[in-house]
Amino acid sequence: MSLFARKKEFFTAEEKHRIVEAVQQAEQRTSGEVRIFVESRCKYVDAIDQAAEIFFGLEMQKTEQRNAVLKAYIRK
């Protein structure tokens, strides 16, 4: 038995395409960078702590104008 669960796809190909288009359109209207991160809910990790870890892990604080936005979704 594996210790790791099989990776589950959250979005269909069409949904992924729509998300990418929406992010690209939003970024054209601002100097900010937008990233979206989706993961399963984990009862052992605080969502705010996890979002901060992801934000800094992606080095989003180092964008040119320091105005990046991370939209994190925790799926139940």
pLDDT digits (tens, 9 = 90+) for 24-42: 998 898 888 888 877 777 7
Query: What pLDDT is stored for residue 1 in this prediction?
Result: 44
Q: What are phi and psi of 9, to 5 degrees?
A: -80, 130
- Does an H or E element contain 51, and which? helix 47-57
pLDDT digit string, tens, across residues 1-22: 454 455 677 789 999 999 999 9
Tell me if the pTM is above 0.85. no
Contacts of 34 (CB under 8 A, 6+ apart): 23, 26, 27, 68, 69, 71
Query: Average pLDDT for residues 40-52, to the nearest whole number?
Result: 78
Work out the pLDDT band at 75, boundaries 50, 70, 90: low
Q: Report CA-CA distances (Å) from 55 to 2, 5, 12, 16.
A: 29, 24, 25, 21
